[in-house]
Structure 1
Amino acid sequence: MEGSNSIVCPLGSGIKTLSCLSQLCPEYDTFCDYGIVPSILAAAFGTKPLTLVVYYQDSGRVTFPVGRWGFRWIYLPLFKGVAVLRGPTRSPFRLLIILVANISMDQNLRTTAQDCLRTNGILSEDIKNVEMVILRGVGDLIPANIISWAQHNDSVRQKVPFFSSGFLLAVSLAFTGMIVGATIQMGKKVERWIVIGGCGFVGRTIVEMLLQRGEKHVAVFDLRQSFEDARIEFFTGNLLSAEDLERALAGRTVVIHTASPPHGLKPQVYVDVNVAGTRNVLAACLAQGVAKLVFTSSAGVVFNGQPLRDADETLPYCHPHMDKYNETKMEAEMLVLAANSPRLKTVAIRPTGIFGPRDSQGLPEMIAVAKTGSRLFQLGDNVNLMDYTYVGNVADAHILAAEKLDESENVAGEAFFITNDAPVFFWDFIQMVYDEYGAKDGLKYVLPTSLSFFLAWIVECFVILLSPIKAIHPKFTLYRMRFMTSDKYHNIEKAKKILGYKPKVALGEGIRLSVKWFKDEEIRKKLSAAQAETKKTL
C-alpha cells in the first residue's frame, strides 16, 4: 500500500462499516480490517504521531491507553454523544475528531451541541483540533442544521467535513507505526494546498513538486495566471484584497505563502506586499479555518552587511537593515510566527541565494554575460564564502515543513535556514555558471574590494543627486557590494534534525539543470519567433 491512505478498523467492523467509510471518506484509498489488539499496540508503541478516529454509540466516560514505549492515559468524557479530547497536550499522538452520535431528529442540532458544551464546561479551545464530525441516527437531517453546529465555534467553521451514517457501529483507528516489525499505513487526511505566488519562481516549483508527488487538490493564487495546467485551480487576485484572499483560501488546509516583489523596487511596494499582504493572508487563514501556513522568508532577515559564518536560528534579527526588501521580510516573518497557535500553525522558511530554472534575477544576469562571451569583471577579492540553494531544494523544504507541522511540536512557530549546505566562494559560483554555459572567457578583470566600494558609493551619490528629477534603482549599490564581499553561510542542522531536510540536488547538479533550462528556453523562443515569422509570410 505504498503511498496509499487507509483507515484501519477493529476486527469485526463488518462490511457495512467499511462500505460506509468508503462513502464518507473518499479521500482514503484503501480500507483494511485489522484487529483491535494490533490497533492498540500501534497506538501504544508507534514511533510517529498518530490520529485516532473514535466512535461511541452511547454516553459514558472511557479511558483509552496510548503512548510511546509506555502507556499514557487520555480521558475522553462523553456526554450526550459528544466526544471531546481532555488530557495531556504534549502526548505523542493527535486526537483530531469529534463525533456527535444519537442526536434525536426532533431536537435542534445546534442547540443540543451548545447545551452539551455549556453543561460540561467545555471551552472553545477544547475543540480546536476538530478534523471531522460524524453524525449517527440523524437520518436525512438537512445540511443547514449541520452547518449551523459548525458555526458555533470558529475553530471548526468552514473547515470540518460533516458525515452522516445510521449504521457506523465500530471504533475506527487511523494510525502510523510499527506492529511486530511490519509497517502499517496510516489513515492520512488529504490536504488541500494553495500556493500564494504560485506562478512565481519558488511558488511554481513548489506547485510542480506537489503535483509530481500525486497531490490531487492544488491551487494557485497570484496577480495573474502565467501558465496552464488542468490539475490546478487558479485564483487571480491581490494580496491587499481581503475578499480575493478569502475566496481563494476557502476550504484549504495548507497555505504556502511565497509571494514577494523582486529586488530594486520602491520601498512602499515591499511594505504593501510583504507586510500588509502577509497580514491579510493571516487574517484570511483565520477567517477560512486554514490549519497550516508556511511562509517564505529570507536568510537576509539577520544580515546587515556584517559577516555571517555558520549562522544559525539563534541569531537575532538585525536592526537596521540595509534594504527594504529584507526589512519587510523580517516584519512579515515576525507577524507569521507571532500568529502561531493551535488554531493556525505557522512556520517560516529562510532560504538563501536561490537559483534554478525560471530564475528571473541572479542567473539571467550571469547567463547574459556568458552568452556574449564578454570578459567578466570581478568586484572584490573573492575571499568570502556564500550559500546558494537550488530552487528544488527550497520547494522540498516548504513541503516538509507543512507536513512536519502535524508531526512535531518543534516546528510550529519556528524559522529554519535552508541552503544547499555547500558554501562556495562568491565569484567561484558565477564562474561555475559561466563554465557550464560554455563561455570561452572567464573572470579577467579584478577590482579590489576597497575600489569597488568607492565606486558603489559614487553611484549612490549620483542617485541621491538625481532623485528629485528621476527615480533610479541601480544594481551596483553599497548593499550589493557588502552582499558580494561578506561571508554569508549558515548552519542548517535545525532543519536537518527537525524537518528531516537534506539537499536532494547538489550544487553542481543544480547549476547544470539550471543552465540547461535556460538554453532550452532560448531554443524554444527562437523556434516560436521563427514560427511567428513564417505565419506572417504565408
Structure 2
Amino acid sequence: MHLSENEGIEGVRFVVTGGQGFVGAALCLELIRRGALEVRSLDLRASSSWSQQLLDAGVRFFQGDVRKKEDVGKVFRNVDCVFHLASYGMSGKEMVQAGRTDEVNINGTCNVLDACHEHGVRRLVYVSTYNVVFGGKPIVNGSETLPYFPIEDHVDAYGRSKSIAEQLVLKSNGRQAKSSKGTRLYTCAIRPAAIYGPGEERHLPRILSLGKLGLASFRIGGPNVKTDWVYADNLVLALILASMGLLDDIPGRKGTPVAAGQAYFICDGAPINSFDFIISPLFRSLGYPVPRATLDTSVALAISRIILFMSTLFYPWLDSKWIPQPLILPAEVYKVGVTHYFSYLKAKEELGYVPVTSPQEGLAATISYWQERKRRELDGPTIFTWVAVIAGMLAVFSAAFLPPSVRSNGCSPSICSFSARCW
C-alpha cells in the first residue's frame, strides 16, 4: 500500500480513546502533525503528564468512561475514524481486578462499536495484544494464521477480555451505519508487542521501582528465551497505516479496503531476551543492581501464583495506595520467561509497515529519558540502605535502655561504629 503520509488524515476528525496515555498521546500529536482537522481525546483521566503538550497542539479533551454509553456517544458525533486504545488490567494490581477489566475491555468496546454504528463512523482501529493467541506455550515467528488461544485457558482477565473484544471488533467489520445506508464501518486490530520508549507508564516504572529497592535480583527463564518489543513511534506509525488501510475511497482501488476485518502483529522485528535487551541495560545505566541469578520459569510461575492468591485476599482494597504492587503475576512470568515472537510480514505487505526506529535507537532514547528523570527527581535509597538505617536506629534506641553505669561509660564500640557508618 503506497499512499501519501497524510492520506485519510488531512481535514478529517478523529477520536482516540485513552488519548491521555503514553501511546494515545503520541498518536494524537502525530495526527495533528499530519494535518487532522480535529483530534478528540476520550480518557477517564482529567489530565496526565502529556496534557499540556496535547493542549498546545490543539487536541480537544473529553473526560469520560468507555463503560458509559453516554460518555462515548457524545464524543463520536461527526467523526470519521476512531482509534480505540482505552483498556484496563495490563499490569500490576489491575491484573487482579477481573470484574473491572471485563467492564472496560469488553463492555467498553461494545459501547465504542455501538457509537460507531449510531454516528456513522467509517473506520475503527482497535489496539489489541499478543495475548489473544499467546497463553504460555512457545511461539516462534508466529503469524496471523494462528488461532485464538482458548478463552477458558487464559491465565488473566486481560488476555481473555482483549481476545473477546478483538473478535467483536473484527466481526463488526462491514456493518452498515444506522444513520446512513451508504456508510459502512470498516475495522481492524493491531496486536503490538511489549511497548517501550520515553514516558512508558505501565511496565518499566514498576520494574525500575523493584530494581531501585534491590528486589529484582533474578532473571526469569534461560538466556535463550526471546520475546518481541515495539518502540512507541513504530506502533504509532502502524496505527496510522492501519487507518489508511481502512479507506474505501482511494482512487483506482475497488472492493473492500485491504485492512478491513484483519489483524496485524506489530513489533520492531528483532526478537531478543527481555533482560538482555532492556532490563539489565536500564538497571546498569541507573546504578541499580543488575539481576544475576536465574530463576526457572516453573519456579517463578509457582511463586507468582502464590502472589496472585495473596493479592486476591486484598481485592476490596487494591485501589488503595497502601497496597503495594504485586512482585510478579503468572501472565508476566509467561511474558518474560517463555519464548514468543511474531512476524510483521503481513503488516509490511498490506499496510507498508516498516519500523522507523531501530531497537538500538529506541533503547538509547529510553535510557536517556530515565537518566534525566533520575537527575530531576530525588532517587530514594535501596532496600539495603534502609536496612542499615533501621538497624542503626534500633541500636541507638536500644542504647537508651542500657544500665546507667554502662551509659555513663559510653556505648559499646561496636554500636558506636555501626551507628556512625549508617548515619
TM-score (norm 2): 0.74
2:122 to 286, 291, 314: 291
1:391-470 correspondence runs (5 A): 391-406=232-247, 407=250, 409-429=257-277, 430-435=279-284, 437-439=285-287, 441-460=289-308, 462=310, 466=313
Match of 1:256 in 2: 83
Distance change (3 Å), C-alpha of 1:400 and 1:446: same
Q: How far apart, in 1, do the equivalents of 2:258 and 2:241 lie?
A: 13
Given that 2:9 and 2:36 are in contact with CA atoms closer than 8 Å, whether structure 1 keeps it comes out as no
Could you tell me which amino acid in structure 1 is paired with residue 106 of structure 2?
V
Match of 1:365 in 2: 206
Distance change (3 Å), C-alpha of 1:460 and 1:271: closer
Q: How far apart, in 1, do the equivalents of 2:8 and 2:108 lie?
A: 35
Does residue 81 of structure 2 align to residue 232 of structure 1?
Answer: no
Match of 2:385 in 1: none
Alpha-carbon RMSD across the aligned residues, in angstroms, is: 2.9
Match of 2:36 in 1: 215
Match of 1:304 in 2: 135
1:354 to 170, 181, 195: 195
Match of 1:490 in 2: 342
Deviation for aligned residue 1:330? 0.7
Does residue 158 of structure 2 align to residue 325 of structure 1?
Answer: yes
Q: Deviations over 1:43-65 (max 9, x none)?
A: xxxx979xxxxxxxxxxxxxxxx
Task: Point out the structure with the larger helix share.
Answer: 2
SS, match of residue 249 in structure 1 = coil
SS, match of residue 187 in structure 2 = strand
The structure number with the bigger radius of gyration is 1
SS, match of residue 220 in structure 1 = strand
Distance change (3 Å), C-alpha of 1:194 and 1:441: same
Q: How far apart, in 2, do the equivalents of 1:460 and 1:246 lie?
A: 37
Q: How far apart, in 2, do the equivalents of 1:211 and 1:188 lie?
A: 9
1:205 to 10, 23, 26: 26
Match of 2:229 in 1: 388
Deviation for aligned residue 1:460? 4.4
1:121-140 correspondence runs (5 A): none
Given that 1:256 and 1:294 are in contact with CA atoms closer than 8 Å, whether structure 2 keeps it comes out as yes
Percent identity for Structure 1 against Structure 2: 33
Task: Point out the structure with the larger strand share.
Answer: 1
Deviation for aligned residue 1:521? 3.5
SS, match of residue 245 in structure 2 = helix
Q: How far apart, in 2, do the equivalents of 1:187 and 1:393 lie?
A: 19
Does residue 167 of structure 2 align to residue 340 of structure 1?
Answer: no
SS, match of residue 497 in structure 1 = helix
Match of 1:519 in 2: 371
Deviation for aligned residue 1:509? 1.2
SS, match of residue 292 in structure 2 = strand
Given that 1:369 and 1:376 are in contact with CA atoms closer than 8 Å, whether structure 2 keeps it comes out as no
Q: How far apart, in 1, do the equivalents of 2:261 and 2:217 lie?
A: 44
Match of 2:393 in 1: none
Unaligned runs of 5+ in 1: 1-46, 50-175, 177-184, 527-538
SS, match of residue 236 in structure 2 = helix
Unaligned runs of 5+ in 2: 175-182, 251-255, 379-423
2:106 to 259, 263, 275: 275
Given that 1:307 and 1:486 are in contact with CA atoms closer than 8 Å, whether structure 2 keeps it comes out as yes
| Greater relative CO, 1 or 2 (CA 8 Å, sep 6+) | 2
SS, match of residue 15 in structure 2 = strand
Deviation for aligned residue 1:477? 2.8
Q: How far apart, in 2, do the equivalents of 1:376 and 1:48 lie?
A: 48
Could you tell me which amino acid in structure 2 is paired with residue 456 of structure 1?
S
Match of 2:332 in 1: 480
1:315 to 136, 146, 154: 146
SS, match of residue 405 in structure 1 = coil
Q: How far apart, in 2, do the equivalents of 1:412 and 1:187 lie?
A: 15
Given that 1:382 and 1:426 are in contact with CA atoms closer than 8 Å, whether structure 2 keeps it comes out as no
Could you tell me which amino acid in structure 1 is paired with residue 209 of structure 2?
A
Q: How far apart, in 2, do the equivalents of 1:218 and 1:186 lie?
A: 16
How many residues align structurally? 345
Match of 1:507 in 2: 359
TM-score (norm 1): 0.59
Distance change (3 Å), C-alpha of 1:215 and 1:490: same
Could you tell me which amino acid in structure 1 is paired with residue 75 of structure 2?
A
Deviation for aligned residue 1:360? 1.6
